[in-house]
Amino acid sequence: MTELRESQLAALTGRPALVVVDVQRSFADPEVIAEYGADLPTVAAAVETVAELVAAARDNGVPVVWVALGSDPDRPWKASAWLRHGDPAAPYGPDEPCVLGTPGADWWQVAPADGEIRVVKRGYSGFLGTSLELLLRQEGIGWLAVCGLTTECCVAATATDAFQLDWPVLIPRDATAAYDTDLHQSALDQLELNVAVLTDAAELTSLWKGVPA
């Protein structure tokens, strides 16, 4: 461990939280994401590790915070439609991810427990247009671990906003995934440079042991 990394981890104070991003059927179900050319074993392994981290967080009294995409046909994300289809007025098609009230929006292999914080976002970041910052402040959260799907998109956006809002951020590399392993690694490299300290599930769990509840 480098001297800088040792200092970074030693300086983590206050109550931690685990933020789970977009582990939903539209992004994790192999029957859905196979058509994207996704590395299915890698995504499945990351989801399994997320589930292990959720269990470890609960065992150690660490709050688990759930961030989900909820695509609303009555309030379409026009910029996304423009980027993906070239038409900001394009209607939602059958491949639109995580449409509210459809199976695509369901959690995949993990799910919130009663009383855990949940927010539904419209775009990439869990903080944009949601009450996430307020809820974390109310809980006295001092630092965050962000995991889920996908590394280069909603995990990166949520982690970046958390950092800009002045929370130290850790990202467990084995509890995140992109559909392409090179893209996953490139995203981690960028996040390590500008946003977060990279870790893994085993180290993160050890950091949680003995933290104030």
- Res. 18 pLDDT band, cuts 50 70 90: very high
Q: Report the Cα 116 to chain-centroid distance in Å.
A: 15
Instruction: Say if residue 213's pLDDT is above 60.
Output: no
- Encode pLDDT of 19-34 as tens digits: 999 999 999 999 999 9
Query: Is position 42 within any domain?
Result: yes
- Of 139, 172, 181, whose CA–CA distance to 56 is shortest? 172
For residue 147, indicate whether it is catalytic: no
- Mode of pairing for the β-strands spanning 141-149 and 169-172: parallel
Residue 63 lies in a domain: yes
Q: Six-digit token pair at 210?
A: 């003995």
Please check whether residue 213 lies inside any domain of the structure: no
How far, in Å, CA of 180 to CA of 184, rounded? Answer: 6
User: Residue 197 is part of which domain span?
Assistant: 3-208
* pTM summary value: 0.96
- Spatial separation of the C-alpha atoms in residues 155 and 94, rounded to whole Å: 24
Does some domain include residue 22?
Answer: yes
pLDDT surpasses 80 at 122: yes
Set 98, 147, 153, 154: catalytic member: 154
Structurally, the chain folds into a number of domains equal to 1
> For residue range 60-119, what is the model confidence (pLDDT) as tens digits?
999 999 999 999 999 999 999 999 999 999 989 888 999 999 999 999 999 999 999 999
Q: Indicate left, alpha or beta for 158 from its phi (over 0: left) and psi (-120 to 50: alpha).
A: alpha
CATH number of the structural domain spanning residue 9: 3.40.50.850
